[in-house]
Amino acid sequence: MEYTTLGRTGLNVSVAGLGCGGSSRLGLGAGHSEAHGVGIVRQALDLGVNLIDTAQVYGTEAIVGEALKSVARDAVVVSTKCKVAEGKRLLSGAEVVDGLDASLKALGTDYVDIYLLHTVLPGAYAHVAREVIPALLREKEKGKFRFLGITEMAPQDPGHDMLQSAFEDDLVDVIMFAFHMLNQNARSRVFPAAQARNIGTLIMFAVRSLFSTPGRLQQDLQALAAEGKVPAALAQKSQPLDFLLHEGGAHDVIEAAYRYARHQPGANVVLFGTGNPAHVAGNIASILKPPLPAADVAKLHALFGALEGVGLDLPKR
């Protein structure tokens, strides 16, 4: 495993982080047991992963807590989250603090290392900064969490607009946002500002159904080609990203996707999620491989650099 410093938190974290949400939710999404999920968390830990990311809404906090019972608390970085809205109603600071307390109980721990405000929309940010963050900082002083973070709602905020407000206020230590080969606008909209402020970055959506579901990539590129957003020739290929697959390049598209996200300047941790134990080692190995060849990255930028909001569908529940 390789480790890096998570921005100004100073936390030493694995470059591969286990995400406990998405469609898989450690296997719960496919009907597997909690014991199955515990096994996946422990497998990741055995392979050197030390950042585990969960959330109240995922329903996996108790699984993470069970998996960590046999692990020294200071050997793992635990990240969890609480939403700031129920439908159109914004939650009060007190309600989010209640969510923090509920997460600590579910995880079986006295504190979490990173507490993130979950899927904050641009229109909710002012409320969060004014009402929620001050309430949480009082809980931080009590030792309930070490560092504060925020995550975007990628499908509804493809331009990272909420994060622009967060950068101006500079109230959070960690951000989580979407970035992948066909959704690259964070290269200009997020990474430079995060680096300038030394804010830790957690990358989500590096691999989603766009790359992992057979036929999905071809389908989406056909639609984009019809709109004139990508070359028509791409839509005619059974493997539109075959230029990435060669000796010295990537073995497959999923490996390429992880390598692309991992080696973007300013990327700290690439999150991966799975419900299949057979995929854990492979995902980690892909993240740990060297950068894609410079010519391949340049071609990705030339072909897809202008796209926005591609492949940001919400997980199926």
Mean pLDDT, the chain, as a whole number? 96
Average pLDDT over residues 169-181: 98
Q: Report yes or no: 268 and 201 within 8 Å, Cβ to Cβ.
A: yes
Instruction: Return the amino acid letter for 106.
Output: A
At 112 the three-state DSSP class reads strand
pLDDT in tens, 196-224: 999 999 999 999 889 989 999 999 999 99
Are 260 and 184 spatial neighbours (Cβ–Cβ below 8 Å)? Answer: no
Of 314 and 101, which is predicted with more confidence?
A: 101
The residue assigned the tokens 């009590």 is: 142
Kindly state whether residue 56 falls inside one of the protein's structural domains: yes
CA distance 68 to 145: 17
Average pLDDT score over residue span 5-32: 95
pLDDT reported for residue 6: 98
Residue 108 confidence class, pLDDT cut points 50, 70, 90: very high
Residue 230 domain-assigned? no
Three-state SS at 208: coil
- pLDDT for 265 equals 97
Q: Is 58 a catalytic residue?
A: yes
- CA torsion angle for 152, 155, 161, 163 (degrees, to 10)? 20
pLDDT digits (tens, 9 = 90+) for 246-255: 999 999 999 9
Task: Summarize pLDDT for 264-290 with one digit per residue, the tens.
Answer: 999 999 999 999 999 999 999 999 999
Q: How many domains does the chain have?
A: 1
Give me the pLDDT at residue 267, please.
98
Say if 172 falls within a structural domain: yes
What CA–CA distance (Å, rounded) separates 135 from 94?
Answer: 7
- 294 pLDDT higher than 80: yes
For residue 134, pLDDT over 90 is answered with yes
Q: Is residue 191 part of a domain?
A: yes
Regarding beta strands 89-90 and 112-120, do their DSSP bridges make them parallel or antiparallel, or are they unpaired?
unpaired
The band of 117, judged by pLDDT with boundaries at 50, 70 and 90, is: very high
Structural domain contains residue 226: no
Using the predicted structure, report yes or no on whether residue 317 has a pLDDT greater than 70.
no
Helix (H) or strand (E) holding 220: helix 216-226
The identity of residue 306, as a single letter, is A
Write the CA distances from 221 to 218, 232, 234, 240, integer angstroms.
Answer: 5, 9, 7, 8
- The mean pLDDT of 165-180, rounded to a whole number, is 98
28-85 pLDDT per residue, tens? 899 999 999 999 999 999 999 999 999 999 999 999 999 999 899 999 999 999 999 9
Is 228 a member of any domain? no
Alpha-carbon gap, residue 263 to 269, rounded angstroms: 10
Report the share of the chain in percent with pLDDT over 70.
Answer: 99
Would you list the DSSP string of 257-296?
Answer: HHHHHHTSTT--EEEE--S-HHHHHHHHHHHHSPPPPHHH
Residues 243 and 196: their CA atoms lie apart, in Å, by 34
Question: Which CATH number do you get for residue 37?
Answer: 3.20.20.100
Instruction: Give me the pLDDT at residue 10, please.
Output: 98
Range of the domain at 285: 3-210+267-293
Q: Is residue 232 part of a domain?
A: no
Neighbours of 3 (CB within 10 A): 15
Catalytic residue among 58, 115, 125, 258: 58
Identify whether 299 is part of a domain. no
Q: State how far the alpha carbon of 266 is from the alpha carbons of 51, 87, 179, 238, in Å.
A: 17, 33, 12, 33
Q: What is the DSSP string of 115-135?
A: EEEEEE-GGGHHHIIIIIHHH
**Ramachandran area for residue 36 (φ above 0: left; ψ -120 to 50: alpha; else beta):** alpha
Taking the mean position of all CA atoms in its chain, how far away is CA 238? 28
